[in-house]
Structure 1
Amino acid sequence: MFNLFKKKSEVEKLQDSYKKLMEEGFKLQSINRSDSDQKYFEADAILKKIEKIQAK
């Protein structure tokens, strides 16, 4: 309940967008392979940003 007004950190925002891109990539896998690969590529870039932030 108290987390209702808590703002998300940058890592949490990136993790949410990573998860969203991975889900979109999975859904596109059977429809359009090139679009799916693009979503996975974008998700990989976000994952690298997350790892870079956590390494600090």
Structure 2
Amino acid sequence: MFGLFKKKSEKEKLQEKYSKMLAEAHKLSHSNRTAADKLMAEAEEVAKKIEKL
């Protein structure tokens, strides 16, 4: 209940974005490999930002 209004930290936001990007890249890998590879590269950049935090 008390976490209802708690704002997400920058790290939590990036982790959520990273997981969404990985899921989308997995879906794309079945139909469009080039787009999936590009999305995976972007996800790796987000992972690097998470590691810095």
TM-score range for the pair, normalised by the shorter chain length: over 0.9
Please tell me the root mean square deviation across aligned C-alpha atoms, in Å. Answer: 0.5
Trace 1:1-40 onto structure 2 (pairs within 5 A): 1-40=1-40
Give distance in 1, aligned partners of 2:26 and 2:10.
24
Deviation of the 1:47 alpha carbon: 0.2
Q: Which runs of 4+ in 1 moved over 3 A?
A: none
Alignment identity in percent? Answer: 53
- Can you give the 5+ residue segments of structure 1 that lack an aligned partner in the other structure? none
2:42 corresponding residue in structure 1: 42
Give distance in 2, aligned partners of 1:51 and 1:38.
20
- Can you give the 5+ residue segments of structure 2 that lack an aligned partner in the other structure? none
Give distance in 2, aligned partners of 1:38 and 1:28.
10
Deviation of the 1:2 alpha carbon: 1.4
Give distance in 2, aligned partners of 1:3 and 1:39.
32
Give distance in 1, aligned partners of 2:4 and 2:19.
21
Give distance in 1, aligned partners of 2:32 and 2:49.
26
